[in-house]
C-alpha cells in the first residue's frame, strides 16, 4: 500500500505524516481520495506502478536463467561425450539469451508504455503553461 502527501506529492510505503513536509498522508484508494489529492498525482502513481511492473519482469528474467539452464543441462548430460559438453554450452548460452531478451523487452515496454506517456503529458503541460503566459500578456 502506498500513501501520498497532498502538499508535496511524495509517496510513502505507509505512516500517517509526510517525512518531507509533515502534512497528513492519504491512501490514494480510500473513499474520497479523489478530492483530497492533487489531480497530477494519479499520473505519477501510474508511472510508479508501471516502473515497478517493469522491475518485477526483470526479476523474472533473472529467475528464468536457472530454469532454462537446468532444462537444457538435464537433456544434455545424458548425451554421449562430445554432445554433452556442446549441449551444456548451448543451454548456458540460451539461458543467458533468455535473460537478455526478457530484460530488453521489459526495458522497452517501460520506455514505451510508462515513460513515454509521462513525457507526452509533460510536453502537454509545457504547452498549456506557454499558452497561459501568452494569453495573460494580451
Ligand atoms: Zn509532503
The rounded radius of gyration (Å) of the Cα atoms in the chain is: 24
Q: Give the residue-averaged pLDDT of 124-135.
A: 75
* Domain spans in the chain, listed from the N-terminal domain onward: 1-38, 39-137
What percentage of the chain carries pLDDT values higher than 90?
Answer: 28
Q: Give the residue-averaged pLDDT of 78-94.
A: 92
Rounded to 5 degrees, φ, ψ at 73 are -65, -35
Measured in angstroms, how far is the CA atom of residue 91 from the centroid of ligand 1? 51
Q: What is the reported pTM? A: 0.59
- Write the pLDDT tens digit of every residue in 108-117: 888 877 776 6
Find the length of the chain: 138
Checking if the pLDDT of 94 tops 90, the result is yes
84 exposed, middle or buried (CB, 10 Å; 0-12, 13-18, 19+)?
middle
Measured in angstroms, how far is the CA atom of residue 25 from the centroid of ligand 1? 8
Amino acid at each position: 500500500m502506498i500513501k501520498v502527501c497532498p502538499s508535496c506529492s511524495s509517496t510513502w510505503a505507509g505512516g500517517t505524516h509526510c517525512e518531507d513536509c509533515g502534512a497528513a498522508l492519504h491512501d490514494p484508494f480510500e473513499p474520497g481520495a479523489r478530492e483530497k489529492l492533487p489531480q497530477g498525482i494519479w499520473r505519477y502513481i501510474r508511472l510508479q506502478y508501471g516502473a515497478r511492473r517493469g522491475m518485477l519482469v526483470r526479476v523474472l528474467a533473472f529467475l528464468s536463467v536457472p530454469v532454462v539452464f537446468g532444462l537444457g543441462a538435464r537433456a544434455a548430460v545424458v548425451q554421449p561425450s562430445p554432445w554433452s559438453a556442446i549441449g551444456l554450452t548451448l543451454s548456458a548460452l540460451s539461458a543467458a539469451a533468455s535473460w537478455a531478451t526478457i530484460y530488453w523487452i521489459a526495458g522497452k515496454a517501460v520506455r514505451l508504455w510508462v515513460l513515454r506517456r509521462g513525457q507526452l503529458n509533460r510536453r502537454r503541460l509545457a504547452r498549456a503553461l506557454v499558452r497561459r503566459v501568452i494569453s495573460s500578456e494580451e
